Amino acid sequence: MIGLALDLLIIVSLIGLAIQSINAASLFRGILHFVVLGLAMSLAWARLDAPDLAMAEAAIGAGVTGALMMIAYRRLIEIQPDQESSLRPPPSRLAVPIALAAGALVGVIGLAAIQAEPMPALAGTAVLENLGSTGLGNPITGVLLLFRGFDTLLEITVLLAALLSAQAVTRQVDLDQSLTTQDPDTPLVGALLAIVVPLTVLVSVHLLKAGGQETGGAFQAGAVLAACGVLLVLTGRLGASRQYSPLVNTGLLVGLLSFILIGLAPLLWGQPLLALPGLWAIYWIESAMMISIALTLVLLFAGAGSLKRRDHG
C-alpha cells in the first residue's frame, strides 16, 4: 500500500516535472525542472527494481545532462540574453490531438505488453544461467561486458563520436574564454575541493569495483568522476585548451583501445572474437572505460578539445 502510494507520488512528480520542463516560463526554470525530472526518474528506477539504472540516471541522466544544459544555457545567454522573447511558438491546433494519440498508442502498447502471455525470456534466462560460471555477481555487468560486450564497445564509440561531432561544431575562437566567474577565489572553495575531490575519486573507484558483484559499473563511476572534473573546471583548476595534449587524448581513448585490443587478442590463440580472458580483463576494461567516459564528459562540458591545468591562487 505504501509502495503504491510512493509509486503514485513519483509518477505524479514525473508528469508534473515533465510538463514544467517544457512549459516553464523561462528556459532556466525549464532546465531546473528537467534536472529534477532526472532525479525523479532515478527514484522510479529504484522502484522498478533496477538499481543500476537508478544510479546511472542520477549520475548521467540528471547530473551530467543537467551540467551540460546549464553550460549550454550560459553560452546561449552570452549571445542573446533574452532567450524567450522572440519565440512565440505558432499555435498548432494539431499538437494536442497528435500528442494524445501518441500517448494513447504507447499506453495501449504497454498495457498489451503487460497483459500478453508471458513468454520465456530466453536471453535473460541464459544470462542468469551462465552468470555463475563467470565469477560476476551483477548480471547487468555480465551482459554489458561479457555476453553483449560488443554493444558496450560500440556504445563508448557513440560517446566518442558525440564528442568528436560536438567538437567539430564548436567554434574554435572562443575556447580561451574562462567558464569561471571573474571573482577572486575564496578559501572555502579550496577547502571544499580538498575534501570532495579525493572523496569523489574514492566513490567512483568503489562504484567501479562494486559493479562486478552488485550495483555499479564503469558508466556510473565515470559519471561520478566526470562530476569531479566539472567541479575542477568550474572552480578554474582545469581550463579548456586548444593545445594537443597526448595525455588527455590517450585518456580519452584508453577505454575504447583497451576494449578493442583485449577483444581482438583472443583471436591470436584461437578463442572467439571479444571473448575476454578472465575477470582481470573485465576490471581493466572497466577502469579504462571509466577514465575515458569521465574525460569525454568533462570535455563535452568544457566544449574543448583538450584540458590544461591552471594555477589558481
What 3-state class would DSSP assign to 120? coil
Which residue, 140 or 291, is less far from another protein as judged by CB? 140
Measure the CA–CA gap between 210 and 217, rounded to whole angstroms: 7
Q: Does 164 bind another protein (CB under 8 A)?
A: yes
Contacts 24+ apart (CB under 8 A), 232-236: 232/193, 232/197, 233/179, 233/298, 233/301, 233/302, 233/307, 234/179, 234/180, 235/180, 235/185, 235/189, 235/193, 235/312, 236/178, 236/180, 236/185, 236/310, 236/312
**Quick check: 15 binds another protein (CB under 8 A)?**
yes
Closest to another protein by CB, 169 or 311: 169
Cβ-based neighbours of 91, under 8 Å, separated by 6 or more: none
Does residue 31 touch another protein according to CB under 8 A? Answer: yes
By CB neighbour count within 10 A (0-12 exposed, 13-18 middle, 19+ buried), where does 40 fall? buried
Interacting residues with another protein between 69 and 108 (CB under 8 A): 69, 72-73, 75-76, 79-80, 83-84, 86-89, 92, 94-96, 98-100, 102-104, 106-107
Minimum distance of another protein from residue 268's CB (angstroms)? 9
From the CB of 288, what's the least distance to another protein, in Å? Answer: 12
Q: Does residue 9 interact with another protein by CB under 8 A?
A: no
For residue 136, state whether it binds another protein (rule: CB under 8 A). Answer: no
Q: Give 20's strand partners.
A: none
With binding defined as CB under 8 A, does residue 159 bind another protein?
yes
Q: 36-75: which residues touch another protein (CB under 8 A)?
A: 37, 41, 44-45, 47-50, 52-53, 56-57, 60-61, 64-65, 68-69, 72-73, 75
**CB-based contact 202:265 (threshold 8 Å):** no
Q: Cβ 311 to another protein, closest distance in Å?
A: 20
Judged by CB under 8 A, the chain residues 229 through 248 that form the site for another protein are 244, 246
Amino acid (one-letter) located at 54: A
* List 2, 85, 133, 171, residue binding another protein (CB under 8 A): 171
Q: Where does this chain touch another protein (CB under 8 A) — which range of 126-134, 208-216, 280-288?
A: 126-134
User: Toward another protein, which CB reaches closer, 45 or 287?
Assistant: 45
Interface with another protein, residue 127, by CB under 8 A: yes
CA dihedral over 298, 304, 286, 272, signed as positive or negative: positive
Decide if residue 256 touches another protein (CB under 8 A).
Answer: yes
C-alpha separations of 278 from 257, 287, 289, 292 in Å? 18, 15, 17, 22
CB of 310 to another protein, least distance (A): 18
**How far is it, in rounded angstroms, from Cα 164 to Cα 154?**
15
Q: What is the dihedral of CA 132, 137, 141, 147, to 10 degrees?
A: 0
Comparison of 94 and 313: residue with beta carbon closer to another protein:
94
Number of chain positions touching another protein (CB under 8 A):
138
CB atoms within 10 A of CB 201: 14
Q: Which of 135, 176, 178, 196 binds another protein (CB under 8 A)?
A: 196
Cell of 290: 571509466
Per CB under 8 A, the list member of 132, 135, 242, 273 interacting with another protein is 273
